[in-house]
Amino acid sequence: MEKVTRRTVREMKERKEKIAALTCYDAATARLLNEESVDVVLVGDSVANVKLGYENTLPVTLEEMLHHTKAVKRGNSRALLVADMPFLTYEFDPADAVRNVGRLVKAGGAEAVKVEGATPEILRSIRALVDANIPVVGHLGLTPQSILRFGGYRVQGRGAGAAKAILKGARDLEKAGVFMLVLEAVPAAVGRAVTRALRIPTIGIGAGPDCDGQVLVVDDLLGLTSAPRPKFVRAYADLRAESVRAVRAWRKDVKDRRFPGPNESYV
């Protein structure tokens, strides 16, 4: 199977083939996603709340992102491996951004990095990264690293002014050199307008069906996270309920001396 690169995703947009992307935080899941031909695996900073027990994505460190990126790299073969830059590691100083991103690429094996927002300072950092030959993915809409400013997880881009601001940000990001753009929790009409306006592919998460691809948090898709989940999630399994059932049954068997049996014992 051919390796997915930034060129592949651009060609997929051009031939209108949808891009399938999922978050991924460990080697075993990366192997599974590769076996099922998922095009893009994202080591999201959502690892903070999904796996590491933080309240939101703000506390996760570069070291923690590096640890998970290395794990995903070990299990990854075909998918394009994108890693999130953590909060306050790229926003203000382009030299800092290159140094920090460089760690995820050199030591972690990331093939691209994702950054949130399109302020003039962030655009400056993106240009420095692109000049340093590091492929960059943008992220607009409900950017979780801005949660303190937003005051909660709310749909963004509602109303003409807000929609226009997202479209402008998207154009600025494309001009600065990002090769793909994640749009999170925006009205479907905004997802469609941005997708039509850009030559680079858009990946939606709660941005309607017209984006060039879709991304979900893999634990949400598998039903491993607890409800209530965001409106844009469709859980394709209920692994949490199944896991509870299995742990309960095993515990009861241990207590009742039914595990291990002859089949699980050596002679």
In angstroms, give the least distance from the CB of 237 to ligand KIV.
Answer: 18
Residue 46 in contact with ligand KIV, rule: CB under 6 A: yes
Task: Give the three-state DSSP class for 136.
Answer: strand
Of 4, 39, 45, 83, which lies in the binding site for ligand KIV, with binding defined by CB under 6 A? 45
Q: Is position 40 an interface residue for ligand KIV (rule: CB under 6 A)?
A: no
Task: Give, for 169, the enclosing helix (H) or strand (E).
Answer: helix 160-176
In sequence order, the 6+-apart residues with CB closer than 8 A to the CB of 104 are 62, 65, 66, 69, 83, 85, 110, 113
Is there binding between residue 215 and ligand KIV (CB under 6 A)? yes
- Which is nearer to ligand KIV, 163 or 218 (by Cβ)? 218
- The residue from 11, 184, 242, 264 that is catalytic is 184
Contact characters 225-264, ligand KIV, x per CB under 6 A:
----------------------------------------
Q: Please, what is the minimum distance in Å from the beta carbon of residue 220 to ligand KIV?
A: 9
Amino acid at 56: N
End-to-end CA distance of the chain: 44
**Least Cβ distance, residue 84 to ligand KIV (angstroms):** 5
Stretch that binds ligand KIV, among 42-50, 93-101, 122-130, 251-259 (CB under 6 A): 42-50
179, 137 Cβ separation under 8 angstroms:
yes
Residue 184 annotated in active site: yes
Which single residue is written with the structure tokens 């793909």?
180
SS3 category, 180: strand
Size of the site for ligand KIV (CB under 6 A): 10
Asked if 39 is part of the footprint of ligand KIV (rule: CB under 6 A), the reply reads no
Which residues in the chain belong to E strands, given as ranges?
19-23, 40-43, 80-84, 112-114, 136-141, 180-184, 202-205, 213-216
Q: List interacting residues with ligand KIV (CB under 6 A).
A: 23, 44-46, 84, 182, 184, 205, 215, 217
Q: Active-site residues: which are they?
A: 184
